């Protein structure tokens, strides 16, 4: 894998891909590498007195690239005065100042931080009338042509393989046009609009023909949720079902991904089929578990023939026979099973919960075990979670508190004033509009009360609950601020005050809101600062949230759970009533959070059993943080 220090080198492409594909350790490394390539184009054009023409995307993926380019402008004097930009797309029917408008997004994330001339910025106009849309799109194409074509185009990729808003089966030679959005795309955008029903049905997009005419293309992808489509786009056949696969026919298209997005590539999953590999302990474990699952046999039932029939000749030749290899892996997996994840001697632990319910959803059973083992279990709720509460719940609480105060004769006039302000604000609010401060406070109070109730259910004490309310989250919208020194300081002060032996961190980097990733980055920064000053740090274990689970070969600690543990964990999750039945931001999975958690925990136990290990009712899985920032 590439690292930041090698970001300007040209390493060999990942084997097995039809597109030059490069895997970086972290999303920051991807951003730095992409930004340096873009900066190189700009500097080369500036040196010739020419304009650099950039094609630009929006979304969470390119944010790091824009931040790095802004840093280069600020600290390295990268000059954007001769740059012309063309954005890929815009929602149809949105004014340029709408909260979800890409005009507004680009200004906030990029243009206000660099010196691109205003008249050199081109973004499709989502507010143009339907009658004028055809001429507007034609003019957009003419503007690109007048600029001399796009020198370098950045792309993200949708879960269905779209680039821009070119959905599956879009015309390969298509130009800028009005298109109908795929249900998959609208579902992915639902959190930005506070409901899938509010997502526009149509958008204006640069066509595939226009995209493929760019002189150089960088496709970026981050996170496990992009792994499957990255494999299809880079290793599969060129197909109209996966529009990004057309990039295979472009001579200057490159794919830059982080390790999470690379996890389904052949070079990662089964690298032995591509040629000679070094069978480290980690790869032996992966290969043997893969073979067990592929053959449907328990580990200790694998034979030499199984290895030979599945391209594992080299593993068998150098580390065999089969019984020896399988027994090693069996022992490794047995050693991951741990009833007492913090040991039996009393310790202090902190579970960092990005949202107010991640603690019980992700590791509620382990919290039960930690409390039963006599450990001092702290929970740090990192954000208020106040944007993920329905308006009707806020209105109900405002009304309930007013009636409570009337019943007990407590400052009734003030209560009525607050209630009327809240109800009036909610009545006027348009879809996706940020809440006023009073509403955010009420929604935060709802999540606060639910978090306490859930923590009490698993046995935690009130004095061990910490509501950090990190500054990066306090925007009232889906888009958050970058992590700051204040966020890291708050976390570090808590760790130094509690002085835990263990900390548990959300390692679910596919969280669709990005909050888990950001929280993990802040915690890791705090831990590294502590290690630098003290020479040591607490052990950090990573858990997964409601979206993903660790693969069997990745798990380092698996905590067995009984039916009683799962029943109590379910009750703790049920304390989060604002997220019950129908959550405001459920993601693409239609199941409730408790269902996802239980099915994931029982599936983990089943996978252990399927490869021949003891059968447990359920398991919660963890890995250890290796000290490398994400």
List pLDDT tens digits, range 186-215.
Answer: 988 887 887 788 899 999 999 999 999 999
Rounded CA Rg of the chain:
26
CA distance 69 to 63: 10
Long-range contacts of 601-604 (CB under 8 A, 24+ apart): 601/365, 601/561, 601/566, 602/566, 603/549, 604/549, 604/555, 604/558
- Whether 176 and 126 have beta carbons less than 8 Å apart is answered as no
Distance of CA 129 to the CA centre of its chain: 35
Helix (H, G, I), strand (E, B) or coil at 360: helix
pLDDT computed for residue 28 by the predictor: 86
CA distance 388 to 578: 8
User: Which positions ≥6 away from 185 have C-beta within 8 Å?
Assistant: 158, 160, 162, 165, 167
- Whether 369 and 336 have beta carbons less than 8 Å apart is answered as no
List pLDDT tens digits, range 70-119.
Answer: 999 999 999 999 999 999 999 999 999 888 999 999 999 999 999 999 99
DSSP state of 297: -
pLDDT at 10 over 60: no
DSSP state of 614: P
Domains of the chain: 18-266 (3.40.50.1360), 270-336 (no CATH), 348-389+436-624 (3.40.50.10320)
b/e burial code for range 48-62 (CB count within 10 A of at least 16 → b):
eeebbbbbbbbbbbb
List pLDDT tens digits, range 479-496.
Answer: 677 889 999 999 999 999
- Whether 132 and 140 have beta carbons less than 8 Å apart is answered as no
Q: Which pair of structure tokens corresponds to residue 98? A: 């709408």
Instruction: Please give the model's pTM, rounded to 2 decimal places.
Output: 0.89
pLDDT computed for residue 7 by the predictor: 43
The helix (H) or strand (E) run that includes residue 121 is strand 121-122
Question: In terms of DSSP bridges, do strands 618-624 and 539-543 run parallel, antiparallel, or are they unpaired?
Answer: antiparallel
pLDDT computed for residue 583 by the predictor: 74
List pLDDT tens digits, range 365-424.
Answer: 999 999 999 999 999 999 999 988 999 999 999 999 999 999 999 999 999 999 999 999
| Residue 626: C-alpha distances to residues 9, 14, 501, 540 (Å) | 25, 24, 16, 8
pLDDT at 587 over 80: no
Q: Which pair of structure tokens corresponds to residue 64? A: 């790091």
Helices (H) and strands (E) in the chain, counts: 20, 17
Catalytic choice (68, 167, 224, 419) = 167
List pLDDT tens digits, range 470-480.
Answer: 999 887 666 67
| Residue 315: C-alpha distances to residues 269, 272, 276, 300, 365 (Å) | 15, 9, 10, 16, 38
CA distance 171 to 623: 44
- 1 pLDDT band, cuts 50/70/90, is very low
pLDDT at 6 over 80: no
pLDDT computed for residue 195 by the predictor: 77
Helix (H, G, I), strand (E, B) or coil at 467: strand
pLDDT computed for residue 260 by the predictor: 87
Q: Calculate the CA dihedral of residues 306, 311, 315, 318 and round it to 10 degrees.
A: 100
- Whether 314 and 277 have beta carbons less than 8 Å apart is answered as yes
List, as one string, the DSSP characters of 133-168.
HHHHHHHHHHHHHHTTS-SEEEE---TTS-BTTB-T
pLDDT computed for residue 5 by the predictor: 38
CA distance 2 to 11: 8
Distance of CA 606 to the CA centre of its chain: 26
Is 167 catalytic? The answer is yes
570 or 582, which is more confident? 570
The helix (H) or strand (E) run that includes residue 76 is helix 63-76
List pLDDT tens digits, range 131-145.
Answer: 999 999 999 999 999
- Whether 218 and 37 have beta carbons less than 8 Å apart is answered as yes
Mean pLDDT of the chain: 93
CA distance 38 to 254: 13
- Whether 34 and 220 have beta carbons less than 8 Å apart is answered as yes
């Amino acid at each position: 894998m590439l690292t930041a220090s090698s970001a300007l080198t040209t390493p060999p492409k990942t084997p097995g891909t039809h597109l030059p594909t490069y895997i970086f350790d972290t999303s920051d490394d991807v951003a730095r590498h992409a930004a340096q390539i873009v900066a190189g184009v700009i500097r080369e054009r500036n040196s010739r007195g020419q304009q650099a023409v950039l094609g630009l995307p929006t979304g969470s993926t390119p944010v790091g690239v824009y931040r790095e380019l802004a840093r280069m402008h600020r600290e390295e004097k990268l000059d954007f005065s001769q740059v012309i930009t063309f954005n890929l797309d815009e929602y149809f029917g949105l004014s340029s100042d709408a909260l979800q408008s890409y005009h507004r997004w680009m200004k906030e994330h990029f243009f206000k931080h660099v010196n691109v001339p205003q008249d050199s910025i081109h973004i499709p106009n989502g507010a143009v009338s339907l009658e004028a849309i055809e001429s507007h799109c034609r003019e957009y194409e003419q503007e690109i042509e007048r600029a001399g074509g796009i020198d370098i185009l950045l792309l993200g990729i949708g879960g269905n393989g779209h680039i821009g808003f070119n959905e599956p089966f879009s015309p390969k030679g298509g130009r800028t046009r009005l298109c109908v959005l795929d249900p998959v795309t609208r579902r992915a955008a639902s959190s930005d609009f506070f409901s899938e029903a509010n997502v526009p049905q149509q958008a204006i997009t640069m066509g595939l023909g226009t995209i493929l005419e760019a002189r150089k293309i960088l496709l970026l992808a981050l996170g496990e949720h992009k792994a499957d489509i990255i494999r299809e786009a880079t290793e599969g056949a060129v197909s109209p079902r996966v529009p990004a696969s057309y990039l295979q026919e472009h001579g200057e298209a490159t794919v830059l991904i982080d390790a999470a997005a690379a996890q389904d590539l052949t070079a990662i999953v089964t690298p032995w089929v591509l040629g000679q590999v070094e069978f480290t302990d980690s790869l032996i474990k992966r290969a043997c578990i893969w073979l067990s699952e592929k053959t449907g046999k328990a580990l200790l039932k694998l034979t030499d023939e199984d290895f030979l029939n599945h391209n594992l000749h080299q593993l068998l030749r150098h580390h065999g026979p089969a019984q020896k290899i399988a027994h090693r892996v069996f022992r490794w997996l047995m050693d991951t099973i741990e009833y007492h994840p913090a040991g039996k001697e009393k310790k202090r632990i902190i579970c960092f919960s990005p949202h107010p319910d991640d603690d019980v959803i992700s590791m509620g059973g382990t919290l039960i075990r930690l409390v039963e083992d006599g450990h001092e279990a702290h929970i740090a709720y990192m954000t208020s979670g106040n944007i993920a509460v329905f308006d009707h719940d806020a209105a109900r609480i405002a009304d309930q508190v007013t009636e409570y105060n009337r019943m007990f004769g407590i400052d009734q006039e003030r209560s009525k004033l607050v209630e009327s302000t809240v109800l009036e604000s909610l009545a006027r609010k348009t879809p996706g509009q940020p809440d006023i401060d009073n509403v955010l406070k009420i929604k935060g109070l709802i999540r606060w009360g639910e978090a306490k109730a859930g923590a009490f259910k698993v046995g935690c004490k009130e004095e061990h609950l910490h509501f950090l309310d990190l500054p990066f989250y306090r925007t009232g919208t889906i888009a958050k601020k970058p992590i700051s020194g204040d966020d890291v300081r708050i976390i570090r002060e808590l760790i130094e005050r509690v002085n835990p032996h263990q900390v548990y961190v959300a390692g679910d980097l596919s969280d669709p809101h990005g909050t888990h990733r950001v929280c993990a980055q802040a915690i890791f920064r705090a831990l590294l600062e502590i290690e630098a000053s003290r020479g040591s740090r607490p052990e950090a274990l990573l858990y997964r949230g409601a979206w993903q689970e660790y693969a069997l070969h990745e798990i380092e600690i698996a905590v067995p759970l009984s039916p009683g543990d799962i029943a109590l964990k379910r009750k703790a999750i049920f304390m989060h009533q604002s997220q019950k039945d129908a959550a405001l931001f459920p993601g693409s999975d239609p199941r409730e959070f408790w269902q996802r958690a239980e099915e994931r925990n029982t599936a983990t136990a089943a996978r252990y059993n399927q490869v021949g290990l003891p059968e447990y009712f359920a398991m919660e899985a963890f890995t250890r943080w290796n000290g490398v920032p994400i």
